[in-house]
Structure 1
Amino acid sequence: MTQANAYEQYMLELINIERAKVGSQPLAFDGDLNESAENHSTWMIATDTFSHTGVGGSSPGDRMKTAGYIFSGSWSWGENIAWMSTRAPTGLQDEVLQLHTMLMNSSGHRANILNNNFREIGVGFEVGQYQAYEGAFVTQNFAKTNTNPFLTGVAFDDRDDDLRYDMGEGLSNFTVSAKNNTTGAITTTQTTLAGGYELELAAGNYTISFSAPGFTTTTKQASISTKNVKLDLIDPVGSNTINGTSGPDTLQGTTNSDIIFGNGGNDIINGNAGNDRIDGGTGNDRIIGANGSDTLTGGNGQDTFVLNTPISGGVDRISDFSSLDDVIHLARSTFSGLSTGQLPIAAFHIGTGAHDNTDRIIYNSSTGALLYDADGLGGTGSQLFAQLSPGVIVTNTDFYII
């Protein structure tokens, strides 16, 4: 079972927009379907194969079952696959949009995307060397089994005010609670790193609440019948909000979970404790998440993100890191064994883990994970310390030890 990343969440939002146009029920993510889709995309890249027939001669339905999805009652499944070579600009949101357009322009693939019988989906978006190209692959696994309908949606900070989810806008770790207005039964879940959620609910009327530290709880109503229902949380109101000015500011968060806006100027922003959301705005900002699992956004300008607390203290997410403009500072007190200054090229590796004894900072370009390994292949193992958007360009020159 895997969790959808931001690119996969973005593709689901594109799919559900199209389904809404024709009156089809919105699709909800399923972790097992996501695992089967991601595994098939990875397998196609690794074997230079583009086919619905997968590892060991498997069919899409076989792979969904292998991943743990249980078909029962009146069930069905379908699969779409597509690929293209990657291209400018930096980042992969354009590739996701183009792959979606390609599938919608194909009658057979469009039929799967719009099929009102399907209730759940997994999306596997992967990038890698395919034949002579760097390819962007997607597998979409659609399914229906004997479940109740789902309440599904995404929580996001609509920075461009288009009322649609875009890369870097997802809000993680919101608690979503559905209280049955008749029985009082409560079902809860949390939004993922990409901001999505899904709740399987019996037919009835529900009071839905979205809550997170530092935000005012938002309450909505939803009626569930026989089909899935989509309910998004857009631009929640922060309860601990700190605003900078148009000039240079030094801003300090509280011990609670804060929302901090630097606005204009070259700001220094320290989140202090709590799970903060910090947006530097314009200017060349220095952003320190400090304790907690923080969401850090530099905004326009050349920004510095400082990671200076113990890894066990939380995982910060940098939503808009750009290798062209930004830099990450790592504290020696946490990243021991590294000398002050630019991270040596031998200490940096792109992959899922260390590949030799000199590797210390590891970037998983498929997931966006930044990992620290204290001894390379020495057996200690790597630890997740920060999260970037998948597919962004990262090199050793983006890191300085302070």
Structure 2
Amino acid sequence: MAMSSAMEPEGKRANRDTQLEVDVMILDYLLYMAAKQVIAGRRAERSSVGNSGGDATGDDSSADMSLIMVDSFLPLFKANHPSYTVPESAQSRLRLLKFSTLIVQRLQRSSSTPPISSLQQLRARNRARAAAWLSHHHSSEEGPSCSIFNNKNGSSGLPVPPQSLRQNRRHVLAHHFPAQTVIGAEEFYGTPASMSLRDTLPAFIELSAYVTSTYRDGRVNETWEKMAAEYMLQAALEAYLVCGEEGEEALRECFAWGFDAQDEENVLVNAMFWDKDAAIMQRWAKIREEHLKALIPPPKTPIREHLESVASCFPLFRFEGRLLDFLWALTRHEAVPVLAQLETGQLDGFSREETESLVNRCGIQIN
């Protein structure tokens, strides 16, 4: 082994002692670039349907290629370093990439679409989590009663009839994609085979909790709480108006989030909502309740009619823009990977000479 290593041409290959270091840098770089390109690609796509996508630019082909590279490299990395624990920076980037990909590609079938069996398992876990949370909170803490959604006298308008569901799906898709893309997505979006906002909500909360845990105070602010509450509202609207749900379960599940003193598993989520003087818990409870109340119809108003009115006041397309801004900000919050810095010719805290020395030692070629 030593002889083989010694006979390897210098400068052609990373030294065996630095191979892990190089592979970690490659993984970190691929995850970083993939997340940026997935988010940037969707922001650019939004501009093609008449809305600004902000300061990011991208396209589907670069995002797809980045995802292919990550999917190809991850198994190799795990095979070559089976006992190695990936650093937190790479874990954070992987979480961001997974969630961003789900959000961006959920409306149409793609390589990232989970099989229906996996979705069924995910939904069962989500229902169980929500049921546990609700069982730990009294109705007064839950907010307004959702029991009106259980009305079976036919006046509620739920479940939404199939023809109206198709119209609602077309409406959402028309505001998300160029016209030529909508046709293929119509038969997928809103069906049990597609990822709903309700399905992705726990991943959003967990990503937020993980990122928040890296901050010094480990807390969320009011801006995030309002975005999270609207996420829950949008998830509920989609469940009823696009996916055809009825009854109160979907509504209660979407809003079953907050500090839970009896939950010993979701430590980071609890930490995100907790503070010593309970100010965050009280503020979140108020914001959550306001958004939940917005979905409860006034007396004698059909539920479907009310939900459609709420949906017009809270456009999903506008919310998606806010969510993408949040995800884009996360890419800028994290430290730039070493290889991305090397593309500029200099590492933070290193001179150009020191940077070149590191490049040569690792056997990396930067074009």
**TM-score with structure 1 length normalisation?**
0.24
Higher relative contact order (CA 8 A, sep 6+): 2
Q: Which has the higher helix share?
A: 2
Q: Which has the higher strand share?
A: 1
**TM-score with structure 2 length normalisation?**
0.25
Please tell me whether Structure 1 or Structure 2 has the larger radius of gyration of its CA atoms.
2
